[in-house]
Structure 1
Amino acid sequence: MKFLEYPDREMLAMDLANQLAGDLKSHLTVAETVAFAVPGGTTPGPIFDALCAADLEWERVHLLPTDERWVAPDHPRSNAGLIRSRLITGRAAVAGFLPLWEPEETPEAALPAIIARVRPELPLSVLLLGMGEDLHVASLFPGAEWLSLALSEDAPAVVVLRPETVPEARISLTAPVLNGALSKHLVLYGEAKRAALERAMTLPPEEAPVQAVLKNTTVHWAD
């Protein structure tokens, strides 16, 4: 794990966007297309705003969420909605998008189609993650049913989780998929999350799922 500290969040967003663009360009020199997994939530918005202006062959970039709430794409809590509005715009408007959602009644019913969509994209070329103060990444929440499956070496590419601490079921990429990305970045804001990351270093992945993805990951932090 490599830890980078920034003087402020604006500087972090700009520098990390440049690093992500550089990673994508590098992988595009050796592959016809690249898979780039990104989080939802509030953290990545400013990073997306800077990254979407990057001068690269976006039509060869396949974007996908690291996880998704089981809500329709036009719902305010949809990760896909954030990604489309803040990242798949400007120069990046021509990027491909692979949703982790299907118009099925339940996420379990949609899972086979989603796995079939994701599997050909692996390994991920570039990964951007956030982390909650409870040490979750993507939708791998401590204590969630099926977390042990999502952390296992032979996990499927995608699982359904129903954490008790959030209102919707979740679809999430699993730990082997996240950890197997060729370039990995984790962004954290604030002293509380820095302290949480330090605490995670002393815990097993079952209690701190972020532990499962830290190897060779660059952590970007600003207060």
Structure 2
Amino acid sequence: MEGVLVMSTTEIKRIKSKVKTNSKYVSLITWIVMIYFVFSVVMLIRAAFLPEEAFTATPGLIFWQITIPINAGFSFNINIPMEVLPNYEPERFQAKAAFITYHSIYLLTYTSVLLYGIRQLTYILWSITDGHTPFTINNSVRLRNIAFAAIGNALLAGHIATICISIFVTQIFSMNILNISFSGLIIGSLLLVISQIFRYGAYLQEQYDTTL
């Protein structure tokens, strides 16, 4: 029994060590996303003070690419899906308005949801290092919240962007009900399933602890 107990303790320590390492990676990713977020906000503010002539709108097969200059030899561009900004002639809309509108929506939806998900994942990793099991009700709720955020973003972000583009850019209302992120729906659904597994694991852990 002592040998089994030692192995179990050693295994737990090894797992916690790996979790701490992964927590550092998650923290690094968080900083990268935050730096990108701050940089994007700076570009958004810069775009507000640039003249219309500084913006270049280039149509592609599935995206509009709108570019603004940063300094000599450098530029910043965003891609707007054709489902959001239809394939109009560039003269029919203002590239500046399209850039500011879509980039603002992108920061408020995709980037904020990503930061929220990373933050919740960080809490989950911390709980593993502080406790003896990842299967807790709190972690189940965190995974469920990430899932709801991912599903909500997948269903609504594209439509919100389309409506804002219609109001502030083209003044032509168009809506594609299929303008949703299927990958986001799949990820969110999988996270919902995993959250239920964590909830059941928390129940089993509670039953086990009460028998000790």
User: In which range does the TM-score fall when normalised by the shorter chain?
Assistant: under 0.3
Determine which structure has the larger helix proportion and give its number.
2
Q: What TM-score, normalized to structure 1?
A: 0.24
Asked which structure has the greater RCO (Cα within 8 Å, sep 6+), the reply is 1
Q: Which has the larger Rg?
A: 2
Q: What TM-score, normalized to structure 2?
A: 0.25
Determine which structure has the larger strand proportion and give its number.
1
